[in-house]
Structures are given as C-alpha cells and as structure tokens.
Amino acid sequence: MSKVDVVLGSFYGDEGKGKIIDYLGGRADVALRATGGNNAGHSIEVDGEKFVFHLIPSGILNKGTLAIIGNGVVIDPKVLIEEINTLKNKGKDVSNLRISTKAHLIFPYHIDMDKLLEENRGDGKIGTTARGIGPCYCDKYERCGIRVEDLYSDKFGDLVRRNVDDKNKIFALYNKPLYDADLIIKEYQEYANLLKEYVCDTVNLIHKLLQEDKKIICEGAQATLLDIDHGSYPYVTSSNPTIGGIISGSGLNTKDIGEVYGVMKAYSSRVGEGPYVTELTNQVGDKIRELGHEYGATTKRPRRCGYLDLVALRYAILVNGITALCLNHLDTIGKLDTIKLCIAYEYQGTKTEEFTTNEKILRESKPIYEEFKGNFGDLSQIRNRKDLPKNALKYIERIEEYVQIPIKFIGVGASREEMIIE
C-alpha cells in the first residue's frame, strides 16, 4: 500500500466501491470519506451480515481502523447518529470515528428545498436522492452554510435563525410549511452533544497520522460521471467525486497519493435521470437488473442497466489518473448468453472514441459494440484469475487492452471472500 490509496467510482455510481474499500480498508490504518453525503449507499456483506453505510467510512468495521469524515462531506447529523446507533446495536465499536469541524451540516430545510426544486423542474428533474445534498452545498458556496464547529459556538442560534428566515421566505412563496428556528436549534443542540466526542480538526489529524507512517484509504462516494464539473451536467451531484474532490475534501496533498483504483461493474447502471449511452430499455436490461439486484441502497429505486461502456471508462481513467481497475459482478454478466462491450460511439454518422459530457451529443450517440460469449458458469469459488473460464478471460482481457490499465480486483460474488485479487 502507498501512504494514501484512493477508491473512486468510474461511471454513474453504485459500482460496488464498498467491496473494494472493505478489502483495502483491512490493510489501512485510516479510512476517509471526503465528498458527498448520505446520497451514497455502500453495502458490505461480512459473515452473512449486510451493512449499508451512507456517511461513516465503511472501514470502521475493521477493528483499530480510524474512520474520518472529512471537511468536504455534507453531514445530516440525524442520519449520522442513526448510523452510529445501528453499528453500536450490531456490537461494533465506533469510538474510532472522527468528524471534521469544517464539514457542512444538512438541515431539514435543505431536504425540503431539494424536493421543492425537483418539483419545479417538472420533466427536467434530475432524480436526486432528496437528501438535501444540493441545497446544502449551495449554502456552502453561498457562504451561509453552517458547519460542524458552529454547533459548539455561541453564534449557532443566530446562524440558524438567519438561514431559517431566508428559506422561509422561499417556502412561503410556494405555500409550503414554514420552519421554526427554535425547534431546529433545540434538535441540533441535542445532536451536538451526541457527536461531540468524535469532532476534531481532521486536517491536522490526517497529516499527523501520515507523519507516523499510517496508511490511508480514501473511500470515494458517487462517481466520475456524477461529478459537478466532469459529469453529465446538470444530471450530476453537487460535489466533485473525482480525484480533485478527494484532495479538497480532506486536506490531503497530491504527493502522498499512490494508487487510484477505479471501480466499475462488468456491466453498467445509473439511478436518476440523464443521458446513458449504453442503457438497455429492453428485456436484457431487465434481466441484468434482476440478476445484479440493481435496486438503490439509498432510495430503493430500480437502477437503469446496460452494457459496459469503455468510452466512458477511458474518460474516467483520464480525469482521475486511475492506476488500477476493480471489476465487480463478473459472475452476474456471465449469466447472459451474449455480452456486449461498447468500444466506440456513433454520433451523426461519425465514429468516435472520445467521451464528451455535452448533453445533446450524449443523448444522440449510439453505442458501437463488440460481442462476447457469456455463460461463464459458477465463478464463486475461483480465487485465481488463470482459473477463470476462457470466455470470462477473453472479456476482461479486452477491457484491459482497450484502456491499458490492469484489472486488479475481480468480483465473482456478493460476499467479502468472493473476489479475485491480483
């Protein structure tokens, strides 16, 4: 392991980052989240027990691993406390959790604003997770946001009152219920007490740990094509789930970063609206959804499914400096008779291998496929790549040849153990 290794989503989220993070986290001293909020949903299966993480770095499951929620994360304290309690009730130790003083807080008015904005968008809706993520980041950049450290300052009441006054004006305009600042203050003061033991200056902590030669694994949330700058804007989330967000959202610097793992599935999926070149709106797409259990861990929505898109994958590699790939659900795609792999797009009669996030181009691009034989059979017991059936090897070798990056992890089943590691 390098000083700092990073795990990022290569596509539209839900690539199975949790599984890789869980494995790497077992070797790290520190697990770090730097971006997003409880719009993320990372499922991990340990000894037959399923854990779903939305905010806490899943590395916390490994005894002794320090779990840090960095400054770039937006925190809904109610959700965080629920997550802490769930872990405690399952007998897990959470005393190793650390929360950045600088992380911004999600308030109930952010959640209602998220819903109101979606209503107003009508057919142009984004399909957000309705967790208040966008409005909370808006306040951060507008510079009226309220941070974790404000919970412990005498200014807290004033900050909430000012925000509630402003937001109520908008809610009134739309005939929505108004907020009572005093109730929110009281509620958040209780959260402040419950979270106090975990709060610290995580930037200084991270650099102290690095000086002590501790190893850090950064747990990316969301994914490259959901990035506010590099994704399919406006159908994106409100943060930078790409490598830049890891740095700004944690206080790490570039020189400590070693491996950047790009996680993908052997097929693809997307939740929410927006263009998706390899989407299958037919029975094959339905079959992939059922075989891969592609229903949201956060919102339970059925995910849109399709074949793997190497044009988009190569873009993710470029934008993030991905050094190795993690391919999940090889077993799932191997249940189809025929598998397709998108190796180029056709746009207005011209073939291209260049990915662009322009909405019109993405919507009008048609995938150009190569075909592979499926029916891989049961892969769940395979732990060495060379033992994979010929058809499966052909498929993954073509991916590597196209993107010129090695696949180091291959998921062959849902559980922690069902993985080939190179």
Binding interface with ligand IMO (CB under 6 A): 9, 13-14, 39-41, 126-129, 131, 133-134, 221-223, 226, 235, 237-238, 271-272
* Angle, vertex CA 167, rays to CA 166 and CA 173, nearest 5: 105
Q: Are 19 and 232 in contact (CB under 8 A)?
A: no
Is 180 labeled as catalytic in the residue annotation? no
Closest CB 404 distance from Mg ion, rounded Å:
28
Sign of CA dihedral 125, 127, 132, 135: negative
- Rounded to whole angstroms, how far apart are CA atoms 53 and 50? 10
Radius of gyration over every alpha carbon of the chain, rounded to an integer in angstroms: 22
Beta-sheet strand order (sheet of 199-200): 199-200, 97-100, 66-69, 30-33, 216-219, 4-9, 257-265, 324-328, 407-411, 419-421
Residue 128 site contact among ligand IMO, Mg ion, none (CB < 5 to 8 Å, cut-off depends on kind): ligand IMO
E strand or H helix at 219: strand 216-219
Residue 357 contact among Mg ion, ligand IMO, none, beta carbon within 5 to 8 Å by kind: none
Helix axis angle for 108-121 and 156-173, nearest 10°, is 20
**Cα 50 to chain centroid, rounded:** 18
Choose which of 4, 7, 14, 326 interacts with Mg ion (CB under 5 A): 14
Least distance CB 302 / Mg ion (angstroms) = 13
Q: What is the footprint of Mg ion within residues 30-89 (CB under 5 A)?
A: 41
Residue 238 touches which of Mg ion, ligand IMO, none (CB < 5 to 8 A by kind)? ligand IMO
Minimum distance from CB of 13 to ligand IMO (Å)?
Answer: 3
Identify the CA nearest to 346 among candidates 280, 277, 402, 395.
277
Residue 129 or 365: the one with the smaller Cβ distance to Mg ion is 129
What residues contact residue 4 under an 8 Å CB cut-off, 6+ apart?
210, 215, 216, 217, 218, 252, 256, 257, 258
| 317 interface partner picked from Mg ion, ligand IMO, none, CB below 5 to 8 A per type | none
CB of 74 to ligand IMO, least distance (A): 10
Smallest distance, Å, CB 316 to ligand IMO?
13
| Position closest to Mg ion via CB | 41
Sequence-distant (6+) residues with CB within 8 A of 51 are 43, 44, 45, 58, 61, 87, 90
CB of 40 to Mg ion, least distance (A): 6
Count residues contacting Mg ion (CB under 5 A)? 3
User: Residue 234 or 400: which CB sits closer to ligand IMO?
Assistant: 234
Residue with tokens 């507008």: 142
Q: Which of 5, 29, 42, 309 is catalytic?
A: 42
With CB under 5 to 8 Å by kind, the binding choice for 222 among ligand IMO, Mg ion, none is ligand IMO
Specify whether 293 is catalytic.
no
Which C-beta is closer to Mg ion: that of 14 or that of 227?
14
Nearer to ligand IMO, 275 or 376 (CB): 275
For ligand IMO, the closer CB: 151 or 278:
278
Does residue 334 interact with Mg ion by CB under 5 A? no
Q: 251 contacts which partner out of ligand IMO, Mg ion, none, CB within 5 to 8 A by kind? A: none
User: How far apart, in whole angstroms, are the C-alpha atoms of residue 395 and residue 370?
Assistant: 10
Residue nearest to ligand IMO (CB): 272
CB closer to ligand IMO, 96 vs 128: 128
Q: Give the span between the Cα atoms of 58 and 71, in whole angstroms.
A: 17
Chain residues in the site for Mg ion (CB under 5 A)? 13-14, 41
User: Which residues participate in catalysis according to the annotation?
Assistant: 14, 42
